[in-house]
């Protein structure tokens, strides 16, 4: 009768060795896909271009709006682009801090999801495998997990950096408006 209860069955499956193994293999596989330098270069370059071009787009919109007049209730003001660039510049220190925190801890900010967004407890960890935390084997498993997840944490940290830049640019633009 106990196995017919879905919550009991789900808890059993979640705690099974097969599930932990699949999660660990998946964590390794995803991080191995992200481990190439090309992934991080493309991510950083594309985010940099976006950060540079969004204010330029607003600048063009303001100029077009001056030529053709307002075409709706949302009018782009001429100084919004400069406010965005200023916000980006002022956000650099905070973005660098958020990058470091995200890389060190694997935690993301309160705004939005990241590209690597799955379970909260790392699969390759002594906690997930229920290994006594004070043992040398637990320390070895945690160290292995920390090494394996470097690519994912790096990608998450890159995203935190650029999300901070974009957020502060948007705040300065809205304040200007």
pLDDT digits 0-9 by tens, 123-175: 999 988 989 999 999 999 999 999 999 999 999 999 999 999 999 999 999 99
Dihedral over Cα of 159, 164, 169, 175: its sign: positive
Long-range pairs for 80-84: beta carbons < 8 A, 24 or more residues apart? 80/55, 80/173, 80/176, 80/177, 81/55, 81/56, 82/55, 82/176, 83/169, 83/172, 83/173, 83/175, 83/176, 84/54, 84/55, 84/58, 84/169, 84/170, 84/172, 84/173
Per-residue pLDDT, 115: 54
pLDDT at 13 over 80: no
Q: Give the E-state strand segments of the chain in sequence order.
A: none
pLDDT at 79 over 90: yes
Q: What is the rounded CA–CA span in Å between residue 59 and residue 64?
A: 9
pLDDT range class, residue 120, cuts 50, 70, 90? low
Residue of higher predicted confidence among 22 and 80? 80
pLDDT at 77 over 80: yes
Per-residue pLDDT, 103: 93
Per-residue pLDDT, 1: 45
Residues 28-45: tens digit of each pLDDT: 999 999 999 999 999 999
Residue of higher predicted confidence among 1 and 24? 24
pLDDT range class, residue 122, cuts 50, 70, 90? confident
The count of residues in the chain is 177
Q: Mean pLDDT across the chain, nearest whole number?
A: 87
Q: Rounded to 5 degrees, what angle do the CA atoms 153, 19, 157 make?
A: 5
pLDDT range class, residue 98, cuts 50, 70, 90? very high
Long-range pairs for 141-148: beta carbons < 8 A, 24 or more residues apart? 145/27, 148/27, 148/28, 148/31, 148/124
pLDDT at 116 over 80: no
Which helix (H) or strand (E) is 42 found in, with range?
helix 37-68
């Amino acid at each position: 009768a106990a196995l017919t209860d879905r919550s009991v069955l789900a808890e059993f499956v979640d705690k099974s060795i097969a599930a932990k193994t699949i999660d660990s293999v998946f964590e390794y596989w995803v991080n191995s896909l992200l481990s190439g330098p090309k992934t991080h270069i493309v991510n950083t370059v594309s985010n940099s271009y976006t950060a540079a071009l969004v204010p330029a787009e607003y600048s063009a919109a303001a100029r077009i709006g001056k030529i053709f007049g307002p075409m709706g209730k949302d009018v782009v003001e001429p100084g919004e682009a400069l406010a965005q660039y200023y916000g980006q510049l002022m956000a650099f220190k905070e973005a660098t801090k958020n990058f470091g925190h995200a890389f060190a801890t694997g935690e993301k900010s309160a705004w939005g999801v990241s590209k690597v967004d799955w379970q909260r407890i790392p699969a390759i960890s002594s906690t997930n495998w229920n290994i006594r935390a004070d043992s040398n084997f637990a320390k070895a498993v945690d160290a292995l997990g920390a090494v394996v997840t470097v690519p994912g944490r790096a990608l998450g940290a890159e995203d935190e950096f650029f999300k901070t830049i974009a957020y502060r640019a948007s705040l300065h633009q809205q304040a200007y408006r």
